Amino acid sequence: MRLKTALALASAMTAIVGASSATALTIELRNTGGAEVGTQARAGFEVAAHFWEKVITNDVSVKFNVGFQQLGAGILGSTGSTTNVAYVGNVFPALQGAGNSALDAIVAANLPTTRASPFIGGEAIDALVSGAKSNGTGVQTPLTTRLDNDASGNNSAFSANTSLLKALGITPTYTGANAAIQADGSITFSNQFAFDFDPTDGIDATSFDFVGVAIHEIGHALGFRSGVDVYDANSNFAGNLNDFAIMSIWDIFRYSDQSIALGVNDWRIGGTPYFSIDGQTMYGADSRFSTGATLGNGRQASHWLDSAAGQPQLGILDPTSARGQQQEITSLDLAAYDAMGWNIAFDVMAQDHRRFSTANAHSAGIPEPATWALMIGGFFGLGGALRRRSAQARAAA
């Protein structure tokens, strides 16, 4: 759903500083206006939160602000994540120790190769990036590609969601006005659109699937966001991008055919990046990413690739939604969270072609794996809504 430039700077780019058995996720919702207890909006947020609480088994508590206000044109919802600087040399061991699944074992054995770094943790990773201007400020246009292997700040640290750090066993810090509240993210819905709050009887043709958008936005606050959006939104940044933690922990799994040939990540704007857990192949049949709202393909990089009209979305983290369209959660979505450090309630690799609608999430949280239905046929039954994608709206990361 689309990341606003102001949020990209505020929540995703942080200044660099120099050198057992789980139960379930608990999500606390804090109303910031329009999501009071007893309202349809609050009930919808609670259904979305309950979905994530059912599917994630880490014994972690997180807090999210939720509310409504006027957003930019065509934006359904927006999420600002609370972040900390987290160093490569500390995050990688945490990832290797946090997993409990077959997917996690592959991740642990295939994390990117590191080089020595002068920063805390002592390690950095290399990546293909969009070339910077000669003075280091912003990206050069037209876009160019360079191998970033200088072990500077942007190679040595992540801008990490505090929620995800908790899942990895790393204690986050909260500063400023957030020190007392300790919110891990703020989710804001537009007050300019009609939403259908009950997906169990389908989505009204004139409305958007509130529960689906809420699951999507909470998903951003849990860590599905990319630093590529920061590069993309700051082509005229007044500082040296090498000095900042920009990429997210999720960006560890961002590759392309070209980057894999070099044994590095792909953090460029544009191109054909995709999700890989082994640094060698694309995960699943199709796990491509969007590549940037400004200089990429027109959709924020903090999403899967936008599906074509009439085609099933890759997952709930698709960047757009149409009126009358019921959103769907897929095994691909859950594999992403499994990879980045969350523990999932079932083996996503053994159930890798499953999808279910927000009606399922509304009524039962998440079906048991044996009862999941392959809903490809049902999805195409919504073709009338999908063909109206020219009138679609975006939601923001």
In single-letter form, the type of residue at position 337 comes to Y
Rounded mean pLDDT of 102-127? 97
List the structure tokens of 98.
């946090």
The pLDDT mean for the chain works out to: 86
Confidence of residue 395 (pLDDT cuts 50, 70, 90): low
What pLDDT, in 10s, does the model give residues 231-254?
998 877 767 788 889 999 999 999
Confidence of residue 99 (pLDDT cuts 50, 70, 90): confident
- The three-point CA angle 171-113-349 to 5° equals 75
Q: What is the Cα–Cα distance from 54 to 34, expressed in whole angstroms? A: 25
Higher pLDDT: 177 or 166? It is 166
Q: What does the DSSP assignment read for 200-221? A: BTB--TTSEEHHHHHHHHHHHH
Q: What is the Cα–Cα distance from 214 to 211, expressed in whole angstroms? A: 5
- The three-point CA angle 190-83-337 to 5° equals 80
> Does 217 score more than 50 pLDDT?
yes
- Which residue bears the tokens 């095994």? 331
From residue 58, give the alpha-carbon distance in Å to each of 69, 160, 261, 331. 32, 17, 35, 18
Rounded mean pLDDT of 370-375? 37
User: CB burial class (10 A; 0-12, 13-18, 19+) of residue 54?
Assistant: middle
Nearest alpha-carbon partner for 42 in 29, 59, 51: 29
- Three-state secondary-structure class, residue 114: strand
Terminus-to-terminus CA distance in the chain, angstroms?
A: 6
Contacts of 38 (CB under 8 A, 6+ apart): none
Sheet strand arrangement including 145-148:
145-148, 127-130, 265-266
Give the helix/strand (H/E) hosting 67.
strand 61-69
> Does 367 score more than 60 pLDDT?
no
List, in sequence order, every residue forming a beta bridge with 177; answer none if it has no partner.
none
Letter string b/e over residues 292-320, b meaning 16 or more CB atoms within 10 A of that residue's CB: bbbbbbebbbbbbbbbeeeebbbbbbbbb
What pLDDT, in 10s, does the model give residues 58-81?
999 999 999 999 998 899 999 999
Q: What does the DSSP assignment read for 311-376? A: S--SSTT-SEE-TTPPPEEEHHHHHHHHHHTPPBSS-TTTTTT-EEEHHHHHHHSS--GGG----H
- Which residue bears the tokens 């509130």? 210
Contacts of 103 (CB under 8 A, 6+ apart): 277, 335, 338, 339, 347, 348, 349
Q: What is the Cα–Cα distance from 181 to 80, expressed in whole angstroms? A: 15
Q: What is the Cα–Cα distance from 155 to 252, expressed in whole angstroms? A: 11
> Does 50 score more than 70 pLDDT?
yes
Q: What is the Cα–Cα distance from 355 to 344, expressed in whole angstroms? A: 15
- Three-state secondary-structure class, residue 182: coil
pLDDT for 237 equals 73
- Three-state secondary-structure class, residue 38: coil
